A and B are shown apart, each in its own frame.
Chain A
Amino acid sequence: MATGPEKESKTEHHKISTEFSRNLTLLQITMMGVGMMIGAGVFLGVGNAVKVAGPGGVILTFALNAVIALFTAMSYAELSSAIPKAGGAYNFARIAFGRGTSFMAGWMEWFASSVAGSLYAVTFALYTVHYLTQLGIIQASGFQLILVEKGAAILIAGFFVYINYRGASETGTMGTIFTLGQTVTLAFIALVGIATTIADPARLANFQPFLPNGWDKLLITMGFTYVAFEGFEVIAQAGDEAIDPRRNLPKAMIYSILIVVFTYVGVAFAAIVGVKDVGQPAWIWIGSYGGKGFGEAISQLMPSYGSILVTITVIFASTSALNATIYSATRASYALGRDRMLPKAFSRLHPKRRTPYMALLFTGGIVISVATFLPTIDVASSASMMFLFLFFLVNLCVIRVRRQMVDEMTYGFVMPLFPLPPIAAILIQATLAVWLIHMSPIAWVVGPTWVLSGIVIYRFYSKQRARRTEDEIVVLKEQPIPSKGEYRILVSLANPANAVPLAMNCYKFCQAKGDSTEIEVINMVPIPPQVPLSEASKYSHAGEEAIIEAMLYLAPRYKFGSTMRYCRNIARGIISAAAQRKADLLIMGWQGYRRKGFSLGSTVDPVLERATCNVAVFKDCKQQKNMNILIPFAGGPNAAFALETASIMVEQDGGRIVVFHVASPGKPTQDTDVFLDKIAPQLKVPRSLFESKYAISHERLKTILEEAKSYDLVIIGATRDPIFRQRVMGSLPEILARHCEKPLVMVKAKHTIRSFIKRWI
């Protein structure tokens, strides 16, 4: 019997490690930042900035703002590389100045993101309603038109509050594609502007007078459009999910500024030169349309498709940014509630959806109220002002952290020319914030009121109740990936009920591959985007149970590791784990249920298509012995692996494996014996275990299902069809898997390059 210390040592040896699912690439996090920035600033900013600063002023506004934003981005980049953890300014302020300043950072971040959300909702409404008015679908003017626009803003904001309540969010890949699409479209508009100018140089006259209202107006427009450079906060929030965060977070922040500044300057130039023969100076004409000026100018530049192009770009840009800001704002208020700096209701999670519904409710209230009651210019100015305050604080943080924690932080980036960039940013941001009073006195009421109310709340409420959470900040270490053994199997477990059957089947593979086989059992804990991954431990109980079940079965004989991964999307988490662990085989279970729109399920479908290793999906495989195994054969790329799997699963004493081919009448049958003669000698079972069987039928599915009734197990290769085609047309292996009443294994052999490309796109 094991003594106390021995027992403890064994438990320690098989301790379940936890880690975040790091699957966001440099491209994805860069595009997250670019998406947030392009969301509204440029569409509303061009028209309003031209009106105040003139045609040259708008170009200078974006170019000079980019330098200031880059200084702040470098501060964010340095702090994020040292503290690569979700939380952004809230975490930085806590480390640099302590709890009070940290509360103010979270408090401002909540409001800044919420007001930015209002701005995106308003932008969506302005451009969509304007386009529908041009088409004659909406016939309203004056106050009636304002009501329609406000109604549309409320509807779209309400819709995305609901989407966030459901816990859904666009995937990293889709978000990247949308943002790339927006950026390419805007780059195209810029190129059309340049080409038009080369063809008709007289359009450059639109730049005269260059600054009709004087240089000082630049300070107003720079402050007003600063919200168009606020994307690095969302990149900092990806600290828990980015691959190689110390390297990729700073790069993404700096690259995103580089991308948007050239985009903004390019489209602003295109808007100015796009206007011709309007009977008044171009800048006055564009400015007369206010926020809609950019769309009108591009319609002039590209008369046949400019309007629809801009409207579609605005719809994609503003909705994806609106979604992102709502969950970012919700997460900020949730964190304040979790740390008891706001009432506990803010940290309440929906029991089923796991989303912080109370924090979301308050955030939705701010987004909708600001969008409803404030004019567009005041919304944009308020959003800019809150971000100016927030970035002011972050620039102070970077100076403080550098001075006080020289040896305590591990940096992936240190900014050049320190301390000049943060000091310059602080001074200029303070000036821009002050000058905003000329654009929107209301913003100077709303912003400081929010900050003052935060100070009062902290002084009289949060200070006494705040939870000591310094220990949370220390969790910065990543789990090391163990060295690669001879053959590595990754077993993805979902629940305790299927742990033992999967472990049993995994054991058979281990026996076939030898004693040096390494097994890693992994459990994915999905967390909605609104909840920080660091909160995931609340949901790990079932996963721990499942891992212990598998551990008891497998650990005594083979090298065994176990990990719980906190992820946003189970499939993406499994795929990235298989790639990071360099797994040779991924084993997972499937209960036979599927969601509408999927062949086998929202997890199994993408894993089968994108995993870069061999995959075996087990359905109802609980029996110990498989005497008769059926392999439906069509000569696909997974047939050899199906045969190998069958040779591992079959009971060698008296078992048999039947390779079954069904041909359509009049079509030649495939010679399975030739295939067997080629593959079977490479397997560790006698050739005599394999048999060939043929049938001719119009109804292949029905024939195979009928044949399967007399077998213990069916093993089938997954289709090569892409997911979209499977969902639309259906494919035989997946339909068979759904309808087969016998235990079934669906296998996919690794196709590294194809899977890698699919994973990337």
Chain B
Amino acid sequence: MDLDIIIGIILTVMALGAVVILTLWSRRIIERIHARSPGSLREIQKDIINGNGA
């Protein structure tokens, strides 16, 4: 197996993995914001992004 194939497989797996992880992460953020009712960016950052929320 040459180097191109190995790098290609690693890149493909990483790309697909990144898509899955970012999708699940985004979904989690959407549900958290929804559970607290949508708010301004400052409130969301305080509650969720900075880890003060559940």
* Contact surface of A with B, Cβ cutoff 8 Å: 56, 59-60, 63-64, 66-67, 70, 74, 77, 81, 207-211, 215, 246-247, 250-251, 254-255, 257-258, 261-262, 265, 402, 405-416
Residues B41 and A262 in contact, CB atoms below 8 Å apart: no
Residues A262 and B16 in contact, CB atoms below 8 Å apart: yes
Residues A64 and B11 in contact, CB atoms below 8 Å apart: yes
Q: Per a CB cutoff under 8 Å, which of A405, A406, A413 touches B30?
A: A413
Residues A208 and B23 in contact, CB atoms below 8 Å apart: no
Residues B16 and A265 in contact, CB atoms below 8 Å apart: yes
Residues A412 and B23 in contact, CB atoms below 8 Å apart: no
* Contact surface of B with A, Cβ cutoff 8 Å: 2, 4-5, 8, 11-12, 15-16, 18-20, 22-23, 25-27, 29-30, 33-34, 38-42, 44-45, 48-49
Residue in B20, B25, B30 with the greatest tally of chain A CB atoms within 10 Å: B30
Q: What is the CA–CA distance of A33 and B6 in the complex, to the nearest angstrom?
A: 33
Residues A247 and B30 in contact, CB atoms below 8 Å apart: yes
Q: What is the CA–CA distance of A209 and B4 in the complex, to the nearest angstrom?
A: 9
Q: What is the CA–CA distance of A261 and B22 in the complex, to the nearest angstrom?
A: 13
Q: What is the CA–CA distance of A216 and B34 in the complex, to the nearest angstrom?
A: 43
Q: Per a CB cutoff under 8 Å, which of B16, B18, B23, B40 touches A406?
A: B40
Considering the complex, give the chain A residue whose CB is closest to the CB of B33: A412
Residues B29 and A255 in contact, CB atoms below 8 Å apart: no
Residues of A within 8 A of B25 (CB): 416
Residue in A59, A210, A407 with the greatest tally of chain B CB atoms within 10 Å: A210
Residues of B within 8 A of A74 (CB): 22, 26
Residues of A within 8 A of B19 (CB): 66-67, 70, 257-258, 261
In the complex, what's the smallest C-beta–C-beta distance from B42 to chain A, in angstroms?
5
Q: What is the CA–CA distance of A415 and B48 in the complex, to the nearest angstrom?
A: 12
Considering the complex, give the chain A residue whose CB is closest to the CB of B21: A416
Residues of B within 8 A of A215 (CB): 4
Closest 4 CB pairs of A and B: A63-B15, A210-B4, A56-B8, A210-B5
Q: Per a CB cutoff under 8 Å, which of A406, A409, A413 touches B33?
A: A413
Residues B44 and A411 in contact, CB atoms below 8 Å apart: yes
Q: Per a CB cutoff under 8 Å, which of B2, B15, B20, B49 touches A258?
A: B20
Known: A208-B5, A409-B41. 6 other contacts (CB 8 A): A63-B12, A255-B23, A257-B23, A411-B33, A411-B41, A414-B41
Residues B38 and A412 in contact, CB atoms below 8 Å apart: yes
Given contacts A56-B8, A63-B12, A64-B15, contact A410 B26 (CB under 8 A): no
Q: What is the CA–CA distance of A288 and B8 in the complex, to the nearest angstrom?
A: 24
Residues A408 and B40 in contact, CB atoms below 8 Å apart: yes
Given contacts A60-B12, A210-B4, A211-B8, contact A414 B27 (CB under 8 A): no
Residues of B within 8 A of A402 (CB): 41
Residues A407 and B8 in contact, CB atoms below 8 Å apart: no
Residues of B within 8 A of A258 (CB): 19-20, 23
Q: What is the CA–CA distance of A60 and B44 in the complex, to the nearest angstrom?
A: 36
Given contacts A56-B8, A60-B11, contact A413 B26 (CB under 8 A): yes
Residues B16 and A77 in contact, CB atoms below 8 Å apart: no
Given contacts A208-B5, A258-B19, contact A251 B27 (CB under 8 A): yes
Residues of B within 8 A of A60 (CB): 8, 11-12, 15
Residues of B within 8 A of A408 (CB): 40
Given contacts A265-B12, A411-B39, contact A56 B26 (CB under 8 A): no
Given contacts A56-B5, A210-B4, A406-B41, contact A250 B30 (CB under 8 A): yes
Q: Per a CB cutoff under 8 Å, which of A208, A246, A411, A416 touches B26?
A: A416
In the complex, what's the smallest C-beta–C-beta distance from A216 to chain B, in angstroms?
13
Given contacts A416-B25, A416-B29, contact A261 B16 (CB under 8 A): yes
In the complex, what's the smallest C-beta–C-beta distance from A95 to chain B, in angstroms?
14
Please list 5 pairs of residues, one from A and one from B, whose beta carbons are closer than 8 Å in the complex, sorted by A's number.
Answer: A215-B4, A414-B44, A415-B29, A416-B26, A416-B29
Residues B5 and A247 in contact, CB atoms below 8 Å apart: no
Residues of B within 8 A of A59 (CB): 8, 12
Q: What is the CA–CA distance of A415 and B5 in the complex, to the nearest angstrom?
A: 33
Residues B40 and A67 in contact, CB atoms below 8 Å apart: no
Residues of B within 8 A of A265 (CB): 12, 16
Residues of B within 8 A of A66 (CB): 15-16, 19
Residues of B within 8 A of A56 (CB): 4-5, 8
In the complex, what's the smallest C-beta–C-beta distance from B27 to chain A, in angstroms?
7
Q: Per a CB cutoff under 8 Å, which of B8, B15, B34, B38 touches A210?
A: B8
Residues of B within 8 A of A64 (CB): 11, 15
Q: What is the CA–CA distance of A463 and B8 in the complex, to the nearest angstrom?
A: 49
